[in-house]
Amino acid sequence: IVESCNMTGRVRNMVTIGGPHMGVDKIPHCFSGVVCDMVNAIAKNLVYEKEVQDNLVPAGYFRDPSNLDGYLKGSVFLPALNNEIEQTSDAAKARKQRFEALNGAMLIMFSNDTMISPRETAWFQPHDQHDKVLPINQTDFYNNDYIGLKTLDDAGNVTRIMWDEDHLHFTTAEI
């Protein structure tokens, strides 16, 4: 809504709760182990196929760090939303302007998240090819300010919060 909806007015503040902003690279609840390794290998081989992208909505969030070319060419959703494909079109410029126009963004991550991997995707941090989480300031996405996150962050308008729960488990007090 923040980046893509052309509407009267603007979104002033954004709160995301466990959002897969920089994609996921493993099947939910299946991060490690022999069976999960096989399942994830199969998923990585098929996820950027047109039929999979067109028919399985979660496939649009899959971002395989060992196949970024496949991701950029085959994914139907996240690379465009994050301006990873290109940054100069009118649509890309509009997405960035809308995001930069936020008064503030609150990004909430779950410390025990078993749904999204890496959990740090909730803070716009991806895995690298070796399954290590990249610090945000070591990504082209952030340093080149593809959607305006760095601009918002530099202005002190991004708050990162961690809740000590699993994905979308939270208390009334936390809300």
- Closest residue by Cα to residue 136 from 162, 157, 160, 155: 160
pLDDT at residue 4 in the model: 82
Q: How far is CA 18 from the centre of its chain?
A: 10
pLDDT at residue 10 in the model: 84
Q: How buried is 173 (Cβ within 10 angstroms: 0-12 exposed, 13-18 middle, 19+ buried)? A: exposed
pLDDT at residue 7 in the model: 79
Whole-model pTM: value is 0.93
pLDDT at residue 140 in the model: 95
Residues 77, 89 contacting (CB under 8 angstroms): no
The Cα–Cα gap between 108 and 15 comes to: 8
pLDDT at residue 170 in the model: 92
Mean pLDDT by runs of 10 across the 175 residues of the chain is 82 95 96 96 97 95 96 96 92 93 97 97 96 95 97 97 95 88
